[in-house]
Structure 1
Amino acid sequence: MQATKLKILFHFFRTPYVTNTKNKISGLIPKACDNSTNLDTVTVDLFTNDLLQQQRTKFQQNNRLFGDNDIKCYSSETESSKTKEYAEMSSEQINNVILDLLARNKDKQISELINTCSGYRKLVSESTLKKLFRTYSITGKTDKVILLQKYCSIVDPNLYKRNGEFMHYLAKAHCYKGNSEKGLSILSHCYKKYVGLRGFYRIIFRELIQDSVLNRSEATLVIFKKYVLEFSNKLEDNYPLICFWYICWSSTWFSDQMLANELLENSEKLQNIVKDKATTFSINILREYNDDAVLRLLQSLLKYKMMSEYVKVLQVLFGYKLRNRDLRGCREIILNCEALGLSLPANQQGQYIRLLIDNKLTDEKPTPMKIVSKDFKLKF
C-alpha cells in the first residue's frame, strides 16, 4: 500500500510546494527514522492526512454555515424583525403599506401584516378594509376574505357587526369563484339575519345576477332561478325576481329569453309586476334601441290577455317608430291594430299620415326640363 502511494505521488512530490512542505514535516520526524524509505513513507502519510484534515474542516465549516438549523434561525429572525417592524408602525403607515402591497398584488405580505395587526390590535381604516374586501371578493379569494373577517371581529367588533359580519363579501367571493350555490345560500342567510341591510343585499343580488347572465353559465342560471323564486315565495321580496326576469328578457340570447318566459309563466307575482310596469319597461329598453324586447313583451301581454297594457305598450312602440321614420314598422303596427280591432290615438295617426305624405314628396323625383332646340343654319 505504501509502495503504491509512493509510485503515484512520486512526480507530485518533486514540485517546489511539496518539497517545502516535506522539509517542514521532516523536522517533526523523530531522528530514529534514518531509513529514507521510511522517511518518505511517513512524509506521504502525514501530508495526505494533513490534506484530508483541511478538506474535512472546510466541509464542516460550510455545512455549519448552511445548516438547516441556521437557516431556520435566520428565517425566524427575519420574520420576527418584520413582525416587530409592523408592530411599531402607526395606523396611517399601516394603511399606506397595505394599499401599496395591494397595488402590487402582494397577497402573502398583506396576510402577514393583517395577522400582525390582529395580534397587536392595530387598527386598519374602514376604507382600506373595504377596499381589501372588494378586491378579494371580486377575485374569488375566499380565504383572504375570511382572514379579514377574523381580523375585524377581533380588532373592531362594532364595525364587524354593523356591516353584517361582512358576509356579503364572502358570498360574492364564492359566486365569483364559481360556487354560486354556496354564495347564494350565504346571501340568503344574511338576508334573513340582518333585516336592516336588506336593501344593500338586494343590490349585491342584482350585481351577481348581471354577472351570471353575462358569463353565459347555464348551470349558474338554474341556481339563480331557484333562489329568486325562493326570495319571492318565502321571503316576500320580489326585487331579485324582477331583476332576473328583466335581464333575461332584454338579453339577445334565445336561452335567456326562454328562461324569462318560464319565470313569467311560473310566477303569478311576476305577471302582476310586469302588468303594472310594462310601459316603464318598454320606455327604458327602447332607450337602448332594443325594440325586439318590446315585441316579445307584447306577445307575453297578449298571451296573458292584458289588453289595456298591450295597447299602452303598442302606442309607445308606435311613437318610437315614428321618431325613427320607420314606415315599415308603423305599417305593421297599423295592420296589427286592425287585426285585433284596436285603434291608435288620433295624434299618432295624424303623425303617421304626415310621415306618409313627406315620404311621398321626397320619393317624387323632379322631372327635368325639356330642352327646346332652335333652328339654326351652319354658315360656311
Structure 2
Amino acid sequence: MAWNLSRLCGRVPRTVSISKLTKVLAQFYSKFEVDVMDDFTSQLMQRKIDKWDLQKRKNDALIENVKVEEKEAQEVKIEGLGNEQLAFLLQDAMDNDDRELVVNLINLCVEHNRAPPFNILVNILSMCSQNGDKDSVYRIQKLCKDHYAGASKQNSDFQHFVAEAIWVKGDVSKALEIFEGIYRDNAYLRRRIRLMLKYLIADLVSNRSEAALWNIIKFSQRILADFQDFFPLTCVWQACFLSEWFTDQCTALELLEKNNGLCKYVVNRIPYVVFVSLKSHRTEVVYRLLEILLKYKMKQQYSSVVGSLLDYQFRYGDFQSCAEIIRWTIENDVALPSNQNIKMINLLLNEKMKTPLAPLQPKRDDKPKYNLKF
C-alpha cells in the first residue's frame, strides 16, 4: 500500500507551471470582469427603465389633469407646472393632433404670462397658421415679443405665419402683400416663405381661383424682376401644368413664353411632374410635357421622360405603345437611356406581338419632327 502511495505521489507534480497558472487566472478574472460588467449594465439599464416608467406615469397623470374641462382646474394646474412639464404637455398635444388642447394651453400661457420653449412655440405657430387660426397666431406673437424679443425681431415678428393664416382664410391678396413685404425686408426668411408658397400655390390652383392666380403671377413676376428668384414662378407653372383644367394648362404655356429663362428653371420640376402624372395614370400630361421639351430643344430631359414613359407602358403590358414609342424615338433621333433595354423590349415585343420592329439604327433627319403619334 505504501508503495502504491509513493508511486501515486511521485506522479503528482510538486510545482505548477507559471504559464498554465497565468492562463487559468486570466480566464478566471476575465470571466469575473465580464460578469461584473454585465451585472453593472443590467442594474444601470433597470434603473433607467424604472426612471422612465416613473416619469411617464407622472406625465400621463399631468395630461389627464390638464384635460379637465373646468377652466378653474386648468388654471390651477398650469400655475403649478414647470417649464419642462408645460413643454411636454404642448408637444404631446401636437403629436396627437389635438388642436383644441393646444389652443387652450396657449390661451392659459398668455393669461398667466408663461412662455413655453421657443422651438415649440414656432411649431405651434406653423400648426395654427396652416389651419387659418389667426387669433392663436396673434396670441403666440405676443408671447414671443414678451419673452423672446430678439428672436421675434429676427423673424419679423412672425408675420409670415399671419400671412399664411390669412391666405388659408381666403384673403390671398392681403397675404401676398405681407409675404412680399417680409421677402423684401428680411433675407433670413426668404427660404421659409418659398416653402410656404410652394404648398399654398398648389392648393390655390387646385381650388380654381382665377383672380387669386392672377395676383400670384404678378407677385411672382415682381420677385423675379427685383431679386432674380424664379422659385415662386416655377411653383405656379408646376401647379398649372398639372391642373386638369385647360385654362390652367394654357397659363403654364404662356408663362414659359413670356418669361425668358423660366424653361431652364422648370427642369428641376420635370421628374416630379412625370412621377405624379404616371402614378395617377395621366399619361396625357407626360405627352404634353414631351411637346414642350421638343419645342424648347431640351433633348437630355426629353430622353429621360421618354424612358420613364416607356418603363410605365412596359410595366402595364401595353406593348403596342412601347413599340410605337421606340419607333418614334428612332425616327426623331432621340436616344433612350439604355440600348440593352431596347433590345430586351424588342425581344418581348416580337414574342408577344409576332411583328417585326423598326431597326435600331437611328435615322438622321435635319428637319425635326414634333408631331407626337403615340
CA distance in 2, matches of 1:347, 1:237: 41
Distance of aligned partners of 1:206 and 1:234 in 2 relative to their CA distance in 1, 3 Å threshold: same
**5+ long unaligned stretches in structure 2:** 1-70, 356-374
Does the alignment pair 1:117 with 2:98?
A: no
CA distance in 2, matches of 1:321, 1:185: 46
Q: 2:121 aligns with which of 125, 129, 133?
A: 129
State the AA in 2 paired with 1:225: I
Distance of aligned partners of 1:180 and 1:315 in 2 relative to their CA distance in 1, 3 Å threshold: same
Aligned to 2:198, the other structure's residue is in SS state helix
Distance of aligned partners of 1:100 and 1:320 in 2 relative to their CA distance in 1, 3 Å threshold: closer
Q: Which residue of 2 aligns with 1:292?
A: 284
Aligned to 2:351, the other structure's residue is in SS state helix
Does the alignment pair 1:218 with 2:210?
A: yes
Q: Which residue of 2 aligns with 1:149?
A: 141
CA distance in 1, matches of 2:249, 2:101: 43
Does the alignment pair 1:196 with 2:191?
A: no
CA distance in 2, matches of 1:282, 1:114: 44
CA distance in 2, matches of 1:226, 1:303: 26
Offset of residue 295 of structure 1: 0.6
Does the alignment pair 1:262 with 2:262?
A: no
Q: Aligned pairs, how many? A: 281
Q: TM-score, normalised by structure 2?
A: 0.62
Offset of residue 206 of structure 1: 1.0
* 1:12-91 superposed matches below 5 A: 90-91=82-83
Distance of aligned partners of 1:278 and 1:82 in 2 relative to their CA distance in 1, 3 Å threshold: closer
Q: Which residue of 2 aligns with 1:235?
A: 227
Distance of aligned partners of 1:267 and 1:354 in 2 relative to their CA distance in 1, 3 Å threshold: same
CA distance in 2, matches of 1:207, 1:319: 29
CA offsets, 1:294-327, max 9 Å, x none? 2111111233344565455334433443344322
Q: Which residue of 2 aligns with 1:10?
A: none
CA distance in 2, matches of 1:301, 1:281: 15
Q: Which residue of 2 aligns with 1:351?
A: 344
State the AA in 1 paired with 2:322: C
Offset of residue 361 of structure 1: 6.4
RMSD after superposition = 3.8
Aligned to 2:348, the other structure's residue is in SS state helix
Q: TM-score, normalised by structure 1?
A: 0.61
CA distance in 1, matches of 2:269, 2:107: 54
8 Å Cα contact 2:205/2:240 also seen in 1: yes
CA distance in 1, matches of 2:73, 2:215: 49
Q: 1:252 aligns with which of 236, 244, 249?
A: 244
CA distance in 1, matches of 2:270, 2:344: 21
**5+ long unaligned stretches in structure 1:** 1-78, 363-380
CA distance in 1, matches of 2:276, 2:99: 41
Does the alignment pair 1:328 with 2:323?
A: no
State the AA in 2 paired with 1:117: H
CA distance in 2, matches of 1:81, 1:357: 78
Q: Which residue of 2 aligns with 1:105?
A: 100
CA offsets, 1:247-284, max 9 Å, x none? 3223333333222222222212212224x548645654
CA offsets, 1:160-181, max 9 Å, x none? 2344422221111011011111
8 Å Cα contact 2:103/2:136 also seen in 1: no
CA offsets, 1:157-203, max 9 Å, x none? 13323444222211110110111111122122222222223222221
